[in-house]
Amino acid sequence: MNIRLATMEDIDQLIRMRWDFTLEDYPEMVGNSSGYESFEKECRGFLEQAIAGERWHIWIAEMDGQIVSHMYIELIEKVPRPGRITRPFAYMTNVYTVPEWRGKGVGGKLLAQVNMWVKDNDYEFVIVWPSEEGTEFYKRHGYTQCQDPLEFVPS
């Protein structure tokens, strides 16, 4: 298994994985009239900017040239505060392992690499909103439950 940051050459696989990931949770989207082509265009634009930029870091695990798992990390800058060094924190999202590779340690190895990268770069913390099924996975890898944030959803 090879764990690395995604490159432009990975975009097609990442788009397909995002599509598949979404359909696992929302199968009703299969009949969506805009379909894959519309999604592919939007996702490609996002991924090109993310990979070329410095704010997003897309970690992948690959086997024989095929991406089998990924974790997206967005770095969030904080407003400086007097009397302390201000470091960014990491927001983890779009964590996915293809079904045939689940339960084989791939996600754990990928998460361990991401955790080491966070520590090596002195980011303040990582925040993730896991699904109910994913909570135990993160706890096994050193994550703790924190209090839910507040949100405002404009109507």
pLDDT tens readout for residues 51-98? 999 999 999 999 999 999 999 999 999 999 899 888 999 999 999 999
Query: Does 98 or 24 have the greater pLDDT score?
Result: 98
- Residue 107's pLDDT band, with cuts at 50, 70 and 90, is very high
* Whole-angstrom distance, CA of residue 155 vs CA of residue 153: 6
Amino acid 32: pLDDT:
60
Q: Kindly report the CA angle at 108 between 120 and 22, in degrees rounded to 5? A: 105
Q: How far is CA 116 from CA 31, 86, 88, 119, 142, in A?
A: 41, 20, 16, 5, 12
Q: What is the CA radius of gyration of the chain?
A: 17
Query: Does 150 or 92 have the greater pLDDT score?
Result: 92
Amino acid 151: pLDDT:
79
* 103, pLDDT greater than 70: yes
Q: Which residue has the tokens 């990979």?
A: 51
**Considering the chain, what is the average pLDDT of its residues?**
92
* Fold type of domain 2-140: Aminopeptidase (3.40.630)
Mean pLDDT of 13-24: 92
Mean pLDDT of 1-24: 94
* 33, pLDDT greater than 70: no
- Predicted TM-score (pTM) of the model is 0.91
Amino acid 133: pLDDT:
85
Amino acid 30: pLDDT:
64
